[in-house]
Amino acid sequence: MGYNLLKGKRGIIFGALDANSIAWKTAQTVHAEGGTFVLTNAPIAMRMGQIDELAKETGSEVIPADATSVEDLDNLVAKAVEILGGKIDFVLHSIGMSVNVRKGRAYTDEKYDFTAKGWDVSALSFHKVLQSLYKADAMNEWGSVVALTYMAAQRTFPDYNDMADNKAYLESVARSFGYFFGKEKNVRVNTISQSPTATTAGQGVKGFDGFISYAEKMSPLGNASAQDCADYTITLFSDLTRKVTMQNLFHDGGFSNTGVSQEVIEKF
């Protein structure tokens, strides 16, 4: 790499848990492209993960924040601007969690306080992040906010459970907030709909390994890896995509537009 695409740009990266996570790889790639940033995660995720290693490697500070807490987010935004020495140019929202999935509850047997918690963490948190940035006027003009999503927002993947509903809501927030952020501050807001990816979060979904190989056989270019996703995210943070906003961008090797592939037919 090394095109210096993000030279002089400042950002906030949510959700780097370990070296497999898309947010982790995005942070490394942003660093390689000359961007600076603060890293943030929920206190519990920080205890589970290795975020301090990443901070050292990229010369970044870590600011703990619960993305469901407006107070935490307001504090994060203020501190980020202070630490980085100016307004924010890019933000990655890479957060998702379903208590129903974790507790093995079927979609047809949801426990609704689990559902509400998962929605707050996975979907409403994106609105909260955007609103904190917006109210503080913390984004530079032509800044870029990206959230990670999955095609279960449009099509049914039975084992994806209530995360499918969370992702549909997340994508709607990107469009709705993207309008106001674009109109008033020239800031763009997009979601990337990524291939199934072997991350710690992804592997919580039942039958995941089989599904990854199915998607690989269905996609003309094969699945997009976590590193591929990081590279794509960089283009959306750069000045080369200034007029791209309110989009849900499929980054899946062509899976979303493929009805069936020769390999899948041969398998059956």
Tokens 């497999």 sit on residue: 20
Residue 200 lies in a domain: yes
* 98 belongs to an annotated ligand binding site: no
Residue 202 lies in a domain: yes
* 83 belongs to an annotated ligand binding site: no
Cα–Cα distance, 141 to 108 (Å, whole number): 44
Tokens 């990670």 sit on residue: 148
Residue 203 clears pLDDT 90, i.e. is over it: no
Residue 33 lies in a domain: yes
CATH number at residue 28: 3.40.50.720
How crowded is residue 172: how many other Cβ atoms within 10 Å of its Cβ? 16
Residue 5 lies in a domain: no
Please identify every residue annotated as catalytic.
150, 160
* 59 belongs to an annotated ligand binding site: no
Cα–Cα distance, 16 to 121 (Å, whole number): 15
Residue 2 lies in a domain: no
pLDDT tens for 114-153 read: 999 999 999 999 999 999 999 999 999 999 999 999 999 9
Residue 240 lies in a domain: yes
Average pLDDT, the chain: 96
Cβ(20)–Cβ(104) below 8 Å: no
* 135 belongs to an annotated ligand binding site: no
User: Per the confidence metrics, is the pTM higher than 0.95?
Assistant: yes
Nearest of 231, 245, 249, 243 to residue 5 by alpha carbon: 231
Residue 1 lies in a domain: no
Domain count, the chain: 1
Residue 211, domain extent: 10-267
Residue 249 lies in a domain: yes
